[in-house]
Amino acid sequence: MMDMDDASALAALKTTFVSDQGGRQMLSLADQMEQQAAQAAPGSTPLLTAQAQIASLESQAYLQRILAAELRQEAAKLAHDNAVRKRGAAAASKLRDQVHQVLSRP
């Protein structure tokens, strides 16, 4: 179980790193688009609008990837918790059987 906990923690750390990196990239892209808009020639509005829509879609796709990674991490945590719970239930069942055997001896 410790290996799974370590792997889950490492995955969370990687997700955080990727999230930070993606956030920086989106901010950089937003800055570039802002500079382009400030220097845009008349009539270039459709091009800038298309670039903004593409950036919006990329940002949404990025957020979906991060959400999927978080859901995978939560699923791994739930699976781990469930395994611990099953182990506890098996130990309790074994203990109950042993107590029953001791009490049923003549």
Which tens digit of pLDDT belongs to each residue from 57-92? 988 888 888 888 888 888 888 988 999 999 999 999
Q: How far apart are CA 29 and CA 47, in angstroms?
A: 15
What is the domain partition of the chain in residue ranges? 2-104
pTM: 0.66
Q: Locate 2 and state its tokens.
A: 């410790």
Amino acid at position 31, single letter: D
Q: What is the 3-state secondary structure (H, E, C) of 2-38?
A: HHHHHHHHHHHHHHHHHHHHHHHHHHHHHHHHHHHHH
Helix (H/G/I), strand (E/B), else coil: 23: helix
Which tens digit of pLDDT belongs to each residue from 10-27? 877 787 787 788 788 888
